[in-house]
Amino acid sequence: MHAQSRGPNILLIMTDDQGWFDLGVHGNPHVETPNIDRLAAEGVRFTHFHASPVCAPTRAALMTGRHYQRTGCVDTYLGRDTLDANEVTLGQVLQRHGYRTGCIGKWHLGRYMRYHPNQRGFDEYFGFWQYGFMNRYDDSSELFEGRERVKVKGYITDVLTNRAISFIEQHRRAPFFLYLPYNAVHNPFDVPDPFIERYLKKGLPLREARIYGMVSSLDDNIGRLLGAVDRAGLRENTAVFFMTDNGGVSHYYKCGLRGNKGSVWEGGVRVPFIGRCPGRFPAGAVVDAMAQHIDVLPTVCELTGAPLPDRPLDGASIARLLRDGRGETPHRFLFHQWNRGHPVLATVPGDRELKASWAVRDARGLKYHWNGELYDLNSDPGESRNIAAAQPAAAKALRGEFERWFSQVTAREYGRVPIEIGRPDENPVEIDLLWADAHGKRIDVRYGSYNRDTIENWSDAGEYVSWKVDVVEPGAYEVTLEYGCDPGGQGSRLRVQCGPAAFEHTVQPTAGRTIFRPLLAGAFRLDRGPARFEIRPVTIKGKELLVLHKIWVRRVDAPRH
């Protein structure tokens, strides 16, 4: 790519669980966000930009320009937060176009190496793969530089910003795309004490002071980041975008919006979106036209000249709105939907199967909810006056549009992808406990924020767990189990099986059922191909077989790298 014909650098900043109402520029008189407010004053701010109700689906839609229901990434955990390997990401699009690409922060589109950012179009990656970075200080258990675990010192928002600044300084002479998905303000609500004290002095409750403190920490770091862009001489040729991944989790001040993260009320899906590129976007413009996260990929393609992916997209470019600072929406409708597990369409009001419900909005501002309620967002942005009885034809038409759309975007199979065993770049591989299928009524696959997950209540010898796996290389493998058991509970027997291969292991003593020891359980030879990996009790001597904490499978005859 010739320097004189290249498009702008792209800096895409996304924060986590920060609501539309958590910005001073949107009218919140309590939160302090001077740097983000300045970014809005220097660029174009959208007042009706939307994302999915929760984070992994938003990330899938953002990276592909397609509704998340099409991508296989439909939930936030249990293996359902994996972007289909056949999807084309924004990183891949710009990498092929000659951009240096970097992802720094929270990926959350697949925890295994096949789905790693370095496999999905990003030359450089620094961050963590999954739902949240649970210990925000001096943690070495979840951070990666590329494919290698690294140790860090300091508050994670500062650490991510430092790495982002290094990326900008290193690649200032080449066109770059930097995707910076911070994990703040996701729980746990940790932030250095001075930020909390700032809001406690304003009279906020402790929880809200922590959240607002995290917002202000983010704002300080975004100010540092923009300063680095200026020092590198890239201000005029860098398109900076700021957005959040879903509605907010704070409750102190909502700017009149109803709902929070996880819901399809405006407080759950309406998010900030700001674009700044001096000389290309007008300063201080406000766009009221509705837009959505799926629009980012086609917009960036238009701005950079990169070709669109060769697959159907749901998003539409809003580059014209950014350049003009005004204009009409490219969409007839916006659709919102999310529930745990695979997507489900609620058929009657009160259907408990769909926990987060769905909604559809048209370009006029009418928004219909799954329970039959209709609102006019122009006169009622807080969704407090149901007008369905006054406009039954509009309500019926919008419901029909949603049902048509939902049928189209869910025309695929849903389920966990197999865990690959024997990859040379992921050996040993951890078998994620949360990806297990539990066979039995008592056995409990217990979520504990990833590093604390367990399988417990293993008291029935007829109950077992299994995983869908794919052995990519045949050979000799050993299995390590990390578990705990109560004193006197040792001596139980279990059977580990993968396809036709199996071995038995005798449970060894530990200091307690939640004091875990890693133990080499056994070995076998595996054939190439798909299989079920199972752990079954043979005999249970005490109250339970064990409390399982980790599983690793290592190919022992693999060539060393």
Residues 342 and 451 reside in one and the same domain: no
Q: Could you tell me if 304 and 453 lie in one domain?
A: no
**Does position 542 have pLDDT exceeding 90, yes or no?**
no
Residue in the structure block whose two tokens are 């991944």? 245
pLDDT band at 131 (very low <50, low <70, confident <90, very high): low
147-151, 399-403, 438-442: segment of lowest average pLDDT = 147-151
- Domain at 351, CATH number: 3.30.1120.10
pLDDT digits (tens, 9 = 90+) for 176-221: 999 999 999 998 899 999 999 999 999 999 999 999 999 999 999 9
Residue with tokens 């066979």: 439
Checking if the pLDDT of 459 tops 50, the result is yes
CATH number of the domain that residue 69 is part of: 3.40.720.10
- Bridge partner list, 50: 270, 292
| Percent of the chain whose pLDDT exceeds 70 | 94
- CA 488, CA 541: separation in Å to the nearest integer? 9
- Please give the span between the terminal C-alpha atoms of the chain, in angstroms, as a whole number: 34
What are the C-alpha distances in Å from 507 to residues 23, 124, 461, 550?
54, 42, 14, 14
pLDDT, residue 351, reads 47
CA 9 to CA 239: how far, in whole Å? 6
| Residues 478 and 544 occupy one common structural domain | yes
Q: Residue 140 pLDDT > 80, yes or no? A: no
Structure token digits, residue 25 = 């520029």
pLDDT at 353: 43
Residue 498: helix, strand or coil by DSSP? Answer: strand
230, 122: one domain: yes
Residue 135 has pLDDT above 50, yes or no: no
For residue range 61-99, list pLDDT tens digits in order: 999 999 999 999 999 988 999 999 999 999 999 999 999
Provide the pLDDT for residue 345: 80
Take residue 349 and report the two structure tokens written for it.
């009001």
The rounded distance, in Å, linking the Cα atoms of 316 and 292 is: 9
Chain CA centroid to CA 278, Å:
30
Distances in whole angstroms, Cα of residue 382 to Cα of each of 34, 289, 338, 375, 389: 26, 18, 20, 9, 18
Q: What is the CA radius of gyration of the chain?
A: 25
Same domain, yes or no, for 399 and 423?
no
Domain presence at residue 561: no
Do residues 314 and 364 both lie within one domain? no
Question: Considering the domain boundaries, does residue 234 fall inside one?
Answer: yes
Q: Give the residue-averaged pLDDT of 358-373.
A: 96
Encoding tokens for residue 489? 């509970």
Mean pLDDT value across residues 458-480: 97
Cβ atoms of 163 and 142 closer than 8 Å: no
Q: d(Cα 72, Cα 341) in Å, to the nearest integer?
A: 11
Residues 260, 306, single domain; the answer is yes
Q: Are residues 394 and 438 both part of a single domain?
A: no
- pLDDT class of 4 with cuts at 50, 70, 90: very low
Ranges 448-457, 467-476, 488-497: which has the least confidence? 448-457
**CA–CA dist 265, 280 (Å, integer):** 34
Single out the residue in 345, 380, 409 at which a domain terminates.
409
Residue 304 has pLDDT above 50, yes or no: yes
User: Residue written as tokens 């895409």?
Assistant: 12
Q: Which tops the pLDDT comparison, 138 or 494? A: 494
Mean pLDDT for all residues in the chain: 93
Backbone angles phi, psi at 36, to 5 degrees: -70, -40
In this prediction, residue 136 carries a pLDDT of 55
Q: Strand 291-292 vs strand 44-50: parallel, antiparallel, or unpaired?
A: parallel
Say how far apart CA 387 and CA 391 lie, in whole Å: 6
Nearest to 412 by CA among 69, 128, 149, 127: 69
Say whether both 345 and 426 belong to one domain: no
pLDDT over 90 (residue 364): yes
What's the pLDDT score for residue 2?
A: 40
Closest CA to 418 of 114, 60, 56: 114
Is the domain of 147 the same as that of 74? yes
525 sits in which H/E element: strand 517-526
Domain extent, residue 473, equals 419-555
Give the pLDDT confidence score for residue 344 in this predicted structure.
Answer: 86
Does residue 255 fall inside a structural domain?
A: yes
Whether 497 and 525 share a structural domain: yes
User: Where does the pLDDT of residue 352 fall: very low under 50, low under 70, confident under 90, or very high at 90 and above?
Assistant: very low
The average pLDDT across 463-492 equals 95
Give the residue numbers annotated as catalytic, written as ranges: 55, 108
Last residue of a domain, one of 409, 442, 466: 409
Q: What is the mean pLDDT of residues 302-310?
A: 97
Backbone angles phi, psi at 237, to 5 degrees: -125, 30
Pick the closest to residue 146 from 172, 119, 171, 178 (CA basis).
119
Number of domains present in the structure of the chain: 3
pLDDT at 356 (0 to 100): 53
- pTM (two decimals): 0.95
pLDDT tens sequence across 332-344: 999 999 998 889 8
* Distance (Å, whole) CA 237 – CA 231: 13
Tell me, yes or no, whether 560 lies in a domain: no
Is there a single domain that holds both residue 395 and residue 504? no
- Distance, CA of 295 to CA of 308 (rounded, Å): 12
Residues in the chain: 561
- Whether 301 maps to a domain, the answer reads yes
